[in-house]
Copies of this chain bind each other. A is one copy, B any other.
Amino acid sequence: MYSFTAPFVNPTGSPIRELFKYLGEPGMISFAGGYPAADLFDVEGLQCATERAWSAPTKCLQYGPTDGVPELKEEIVALMRRRGAACSSAELVVTTGSQQSFDLLLRVLVAPGDTVLTEQPAYPATVQALLLQQADVVTVPVDAHGIDTDRLAALLNSGTVRAPKLLYTVPTFANPTGATLTLARRLALLELAVKHRFVIVEDEPYAELRFCGEAVPSLLALSEQVPTSRNWLVYFGSLSKVIAPGLRVGWTVAPIEIARRCTVAKQTVDLCSSPFTQAIAAAYLAQGSLDSHLPRIVAAYRDKCETLCDEMDRILDGAIEFHRPQGGMFVWGRCKTGSSSTLLTQAIAQKVLFVPGRAFYADDADDSTMRMSFTAPTTADIKEGVQRLSTAMERSFS
């Protein structure tokens, strides 16, 4: 009856949605979530920040500037400086989460039919946003060290794809692979962007969740070393994984001309992000709570990640191959004995959930892969969950 525009339902997203119905089942242990652990939210610190925000109620309750509340912009500029990637306020746009950062950027830069490169496997909402914008999505494979820049270079030089407008990457503790792009590949990627004149989107929600190993500088921090590469770089930050998703606070750092266009687009998209949650975020950062609370989240995730990896080593006897991530929220596995979709059926019967890897492929899915998130379950549940997974494997593949 209605004539709708564009393709809106992303088939690669649906395997995750299908799992939702099992999440509430009593006794279910879930490695399927992509959410931060709710019991680690700093409720007290956020309540304190809320009190501080209420000291100027009018500012919180009225419309605010489209590019963000000045107090929050100042705090984010300071945060970016501490992360080794200084930016100016004019380069910064506060958004309703980094999902909106991506949406605004696509609207500003990507016309229907434009080529956009993404990692594969990748976060499904990324691919969905690209489909909504009717981009031509071209995937670049990822290994344990992130996006394969040699294959990317070969692709760009091959003449088989149209010159890309954009490349989207989560270089540190990627979703779903947990992989971190090496320093050498980061520099290579910046050089490719300059040479082939495409914009790199560096989405960095997880980088502060590092358990071990040495921090690798962000592409934004490294751009100083590759002349003019900063012109081809857009960075997305987020408070969702380090403070709380419910604030819906993310941000874009972009060359001024792009940042300005994103702000103009945001005027028609939602006028402004909530000045109230922005004021809470600003107060939380100003009171130093991120620095004091984040180590507790990191310690808990480290513990959970180690438990998951240790138990998989101990119990599964190599039946699921995986790399230990140095941070983030995800372990990416490969089921050596068969399809993870087949395994999932038995796993659900055993009351344990994970996401079959095919959910993260735009094309040419590797059905043996699977994503396990360790953030939500307790360490006791993680142990029990791996045990159940072992039973499920026996039933699936024996």
Contact = CB atoms under 8 A, between A and B. Distances in A.
A109 interface: yes
B244 A109 contact: no
B62 A245 contact: yes
A98 to B, nearest CB: 10
Given A269-B269, A270-B248, A57 B43 contact: yes
A247 interface: yes
A128 to B, nearest CB: 5
Contacts of A274: 96, 246-248, 274, 277
A58 to B, nearest CB: 4
A63 B46 contact: no
A35 interface: yes
A129 B268 contact: yes
Nearest to A130: B268
A397 interface: no
A270 B111 contact: no
A8 B58 contact: no
A46 B61 contact: yes
| Identical subunits present | 2
A62 B95 CA distance: 17
Contacts of A96: 96, 248, 270, 273-274
A35 B8 contact: no
A174 to B, nearest CB: 18
A95 B274 CA distance: 12
A111 B57 contact: no
Contact of A41 (B57, B128, B248): B57
A99 interface: yes
A380 interface: no
B268 A246 contact: no
B132 A107 contact: yes
A160 interface: no
Nearest to A269: B103
Interface in A295-346: none
Interface in A31-84: 35-36, 38-39, 41, 43, 46-47, 50, 54, 57-58, 60-64
A97 B271 contact: yes
Interface in A212-262: 231, 240, 244-248, 255, 257-258, 261
Contacts of A97: 270-271
A54 B261 CA distance: 37
Interface in A90-109: 95-97, 99-100, 103, 107-109
A246 B56 CA distance: 12
A1 interface: yes
Given A244-B62, A271-B97, A274-B246, A8 B41 contact: no
Contacts of A267: 13, 125, 128
A381 to B, nearest CB: 17
A2 B245 contact: no
A108 B4 contact: yes
Given A41-B61, A58-B41, A231-B1, A272 B248 contact: yes
A192 interface: no
A275 interface: yes
A61 to B, nearest CB: 4
List the 8 shortest-distance A-B pairs measured between CB atoms, nearest first.
A61-B244, A129-B268, A61-B246, A38-B58, A5-B111, A248-B274, A96-B270, A100-B270
Given A43-B61, A246-B275, 15 more contacts: A2-B199, A4-B261, A9-B264, A36-B62, A41-B58, A61-B246, A64-B246, A97-B270, A97-B271, A99-B271, A103-B269, A107-B132, A246-B276, A247-B276, A248-B272
6 contacts: A47-B54, A61-B245, A96-B96, A96-B270, A97-B270, A132-B265
